[in-house]
A and B are shown apart, each in its own frame.
Chain A
Amino acid sequence: ETGVTQSPTHLIKTRGQQVTLRCSSQSGHNTVSWYQQALGQGPQFIFQYYREEENGRGNFPPRFSGLQFPNYSSELNVNALELDDSALYLCASTPEVGRNTEAFFGQGTRLTVV
């Protein structure tokens, strides 16, 4: 098991609602990335946080936003939830920006939008 922890593990939300997912990075890791994994698909990059700033973003709308805290933990916020947002949301931490080959993933948060 990695030291990356995510909460909650599962949740169900209604379309139009907002959700916040949380991630604690591996000890010694200062960079956190978020990925969305639809059923039967590979993870898709949402964005990365480094030094509490967004450091790169994938093809996701602005209603996907995030935060990183001084202790390197991170939150993913999704507003105005849509049915297609149902997916496994994965958090990955790396020791430094640019060291993706050393990424450790959490177990993910399974979000279901109904």
Chain B
Amino acid sequence: GESVGLHLPTLSVQEGDNSIINCAYSNSASDYFIWYKQESGKGPQFIIDIRSNMDKRQGQRVTVLLNKTVKHLSLQIAATQPGDSAVYFCAETRMDSSYKLIFGSGTRLLVRP
């Protein structure tokens, strides 16, 4: 069935270090993969997306890598800051049935001062 999951439920990093959050997906027909950040008491906030025909995309301090061979997605955050502490979700969507996002269960990122 369709699923998007995460390898690590909690990640603790030192402020200033780089963070890597991983995600495995099962549906190779997905067209887009998206990373969201969710802070306590707030809704998910879009971070970055990547189309399925790409393997890397960079944003401000963030990079998403897509490995379609092993159906693996990762989010790299450079120079992690205390404000990056949140739960991160990966999600997938498809253009042919793109009325929904399919979310994974999330990884909590804790940034130690």
Contact = CB atoms under 8 A, between A and B. Distances in A.
Interface stretch (A11-19, A69-77, A79-87, A105-113): A105-113
Contacts, number: 69
Given A42-B105, A42-B106, A4 B43 contact: yes
B49 A33 contact: no
A42 B104 contact: yes
Interface stretch (B12-20, B61-69, B71-79, B95-103): B95-103
A105 B43 contact: yes
A4 B4 CA distance: 25
B108 to A, nearest CB: 9
Interface in B19-75: 32, 34, 41-46, 49
For chain A, which range describes its interface: under 10, 10 to 19, 20 to 34, or 35 or more residues? 20 to 34
Q: Which of B43, B97, B98 has the most CB of A within 10 A?
A: B43
Given A40-B105, A41-B105, A98 B95 contact: yes
B85 interface: no
Contacts of B106: 40-42
A100 B93 contact: yes
Nearest to B104: A42
Contact of B99 (A43, A56, A104, A107): A56
B43 A90 contact: yes
A55 B105 CA distance: 25
A1 to B, nearest CB: 9
Given A42-B89, A42-B106, A103 B99 contact: no
Contacts of A105: 43-45
A101 B34 contact: yes
Contacts of A2: 43, 45
Interface in A35-69: 35, 40-45, 48, 55-56, 58
Interface of B: 4, 32, 34, 41-46, 49, 89, 91, 93, 95, 97-106
